[in-house]
Structure 1
Amino acid sequence: MKPSSYPKRLETEKANVKEIHQPWHLNGRCPEGTVPLVRTQKSDQMRAVSPKNFNKKYPNEVLHPQAGDDQKNHEHAVFFVNNTNSGGKAEINIWNPRVEPGDFSIAGLSVTTREIQTYLSVGWMVNPSMFGDNLTRIFMYWTVDGSVNTGCYNHQCSGFVQVNNVIALGGTASPISVYDGPQYQMAVSIFKDVKTGHWWLQVQGNALGYWPSSLVPRLANGTEVVQYGGEVFDSRGNGGGHTTTEMGSGHFGGDGERKASVFTNIQVVDPAKNAYVIPQHISGFADRRNCYDLTGVRMTQNWGLHFFYGGPGRNPNCP
């Protein structure tokens, strides 16, 4: 119940990760041989539009951001790598953005096929409709048919196999980064096991679990797109003005260190070497830069390949 091997790390990599806590840890940890599951309440299901869509994205909701008009309710600020890899990793700093009822705000890493039918994702999110609060929570999502009949967040459907007893998917994450103050990161990675073909999810250095190779046959030869960045869902579809839901810290990427949100140590897995490498060709995209934007990627000794992103949503330039 662990990977047969891990992709080799870069010798120059410097970890900037501080430990993430979940409040339930104050009451102890799960015994050996068990895993933590967030309890689903009746009130959680009643908040869903329909029982069928509970804890599930709508069909084609995970389309590539370049789809533009196909996602009128979704806005992105992302970078993506378009070539065959065996996974990706990054460190995402954690914030608690303001989110309007019915909206959500996400920061995450995704590995997908080019047509975005098979989609594996991990990160943090604030989603009042799903969880009934405005807390920042660790999430995982998957689908193999663009969310038409398969896929869900966390453990609300069968498929993902959790083996770790430390981190609860759907559980809250803390501490939270402070504007112009202490910053806290979450290290995430998704990679293919070279022997079994399973796709493993790693959070804070913990091998959390895997998607069986039989579940994601479209990824047998690797992922075609690795994506990093933020997403906001505007439940009103811009009717009556843009949402005030924030992305990341709620500040534009240009505000920089300790103010804007950041992805650091961005890497992909070279399938030939089974090793993490710095991607050579990475493209950026933002739907509406006056609402949410991102800076260009930069390379530094302490942060590796990184970029800043985010925004406040509605503002004088984003009415």
Structure 2
Amino acid sequence: MAEDSSASRMKRKAQTEADCTALAHRFPCGIDVGYWLVAAGARAGTEEEWFGAQTITGDLFDCVDMYKQPAFNHPLLKNHTLQLKPSSLPKGMKLAKSKPASFYGFNDTCPSGTVLIHRARKQDLIESKLLRNQFRAQAIANNPTAEGSHYAIIETEYDQFFGAYDPFYGAYAKMATYKLPDLQASQTSSSTIYLFGDKKVPNNELNVIQAGWHVSPIMYGTSYPRFFTFWTIDGYEKTGCGNLECPGFVSTTNIYGPGSFIPEFSTYGGEQKYLSILISRDSNTGNWWVTYNDQLPLGYFPKELLPKMDDYADAIQMGGHVYSPLNVPSPPMGSGHSSNEGPNRAAYFIQVQSVDSSNKLTNFDNGFIKSRSDIGDYYSISDNHESGKDKYVFAYGGAGGFTK
């Protein structure tokens, strides 16, 4: 899909700014990309009845009754009881009392009792299917269907004899976020936390849940970072999808959600902006909750979908992943710079931790961490190492340019 023309983007932005003027009593105008507007009734220039949110980037988010969201169309969730908030968080972790500055303008974008759902276009659904092949690369080594997909990750795996001494009940990290303006429409670049169910099962039974940020022009029409989620229960073969584009992930907030724009991103060599993600198992329900920026539980992967993660996760991966069609040079990963340049220049993860059996955040045991990249000359990753207040840190990334 070709990127939107400049004229189209300007027209869309002008219409959104006009909507902003009409709603000035609720939101300030003249704002930069990423802030939300709420409208009800017919959309400008159409007879279509619409109730939802629109960003100045042109995204449309529908306000959907939380009990009628896509997740509940899944046959395994027919009798699922909606959990509105996690029953507990890892010990020592508290949600902030106020919402962060990056949520400015997001309040009340949808009414209480509804959730924000990014309106999928046909190409979004096609791209979501492509993502399955892309993420399969690092999950299942040497998979021929994952051509064009590359990664640089760290991994720790539970094994009572040869690996980490405790299973995993969650994972946490802060990731530096970057805008990647040089991505072509057909490319994606992501930074992600992955949790795996039993890795000893056949590939087509592998359960994986993940959350992070990615840049995907084909899905969103821009080069700005987006928060996203993904899941699969068969090693990315047929099941699962990104965000809320198929039944699976359960959203619980009317403020923010999968597919949403991340309004703050880092500057190479300058100020660093972070996205923090916690994925943690709720000890009462068995659901796997996703908490955004230490402040907002966004929703969860329901336990009914994840037969191999009923009690705990078997492995954790963190790092970068890119995709480009064959014969198209691979895109930048992270900040687009090698891990050798170090933090503030290369993209990086800080405060890398897992959740243990006592529901406590704990540093990774470096004796059981592996670092790997499938094409190290193009995408590199540093060892996970201790770094003062940032606890455990690793850098990753590269400019790309690999062609096969």
Shorter-chain TM-score: which interval? 0.7 to 0.9
Q: 1:285 aligns with which of 354, 367, 372?
A: 372
1:218 is aligned to 2:292: no
Give the CA deviation at 1:276: 1.1
* 2:317 corresponds to which of 212, 227, 238: 227
Q: Post-superposition shift, 1:31?
A: 2.9
Give me the CA root mean square deviation: 2.5
Count matched residues. Answer: 299
Distance 1:255 1:232 in 2: 19
Q: Secondary structure at the match of 2:213?
A: strand
Contact 2:337 2:397 in 1 (8 A): yes
Superposition pairs for residues 86-165 of structure 1, below 5 Å? 86-97=169-180, 98-113=182-197, 114=199, 117-165=206-254
CA–CA separation in structure 2 for the residues paired with 1:79 and 1:136: 22
Amino acid at match of 1:7: P
Does 2:163 correspond to 1:79?
A: no
Task: Indicate the residue corresponding to 2:113 in structure 1.
Answer: 33
Secondary structure of the structure 2 residue equivalent to 1:62: helix
Following superposition, the deviation at residue 227 of structure 1 comes to 0.7
User: Which of 167, 177, 180 pairs up with 2:269?
Assistant: 180
Unaligned runs of 5+ in 1: none
Normalising by structure 1, report the TM-score.
0.86
**Structure 1 counterpart of 2:255:** 166
Percent pairwise identity = 28
Which one of 238, 241, 248 corresponds to residue 334 of structure 2? 248
* Maintained 8 Å contact 1:247/1:311: yes
Q: Deviations over 1:184-217 (max 9, x none)?
A: 0011011111111111111112111111111112
Identify the residue that residue 68 of structure 1 maps to in structure 2. 142
Q: Residues 67-108 of structure 1, C-alpha deviation per residue, up to 9 Å, x if partnerless? A: 035333111110011012111110011001231231100001
- Does structure 2 retain, via aligned residues, the 8 Å contact 1:57–1:152? no
- Structure 1 residues 156 and 28: alpha-carbon distance in aligned structure 2, compared to 1, 3 A threshold: same
Mapped partners of 2:341, 2:281: distance in 1:
36
Give 1:265 shift: 0.5
Residue pair 1:22, 1:172 contacting (<8 A) in 2 also? no
Alignment of 1:15-34 (within 5 A): 19=100, 21=102, 25=106, 29-34=109-114
Name which one, 1 or 2, has greater alpha-carbon Rg: 2
Match of 2:128 among 35, 55, 58: 55
Q: Residues 303, 59 of structure 1: CA spacing in aligned structure 2 closer, same or farther, 3 A cutoff?
A: closer
SS in 1 for 2:308: helix
| Residue 9 of structure 1 pairs with residue 92 of structure 2 | yes
Structure-1 residue corresponding to 2:59: none
Over 3 Å counting, the alpha-carbon distance change for 1:38 and 1:137 in structure 2 is same
SS at match of 1:309: strand
Q: Alignment partner for residue 383 of structure 2, among 296, 300, 304? A: 296
For residues 149 and 287 of structure 1, the distance between their equivalents in structure 2, rounded to whole angstroms, comes to 24
Residues 128-159 of structure 1: CA distance to partner in whole angstroms, max 9, x if unpaired? 22222222111111111223332111111112
Preserved CA contact (<8 Å) 2:135 2:149: no
Structure 2 alignment gaps of length 5 or more: 1-83, 159-166
Structure ranking higher on relative contact order (CA contacts 8 Å, 6+ apart): 1
CA deviation map 1:243-285 (0-9, x unaligned): 2x110100101111211101000111112x1111112121100
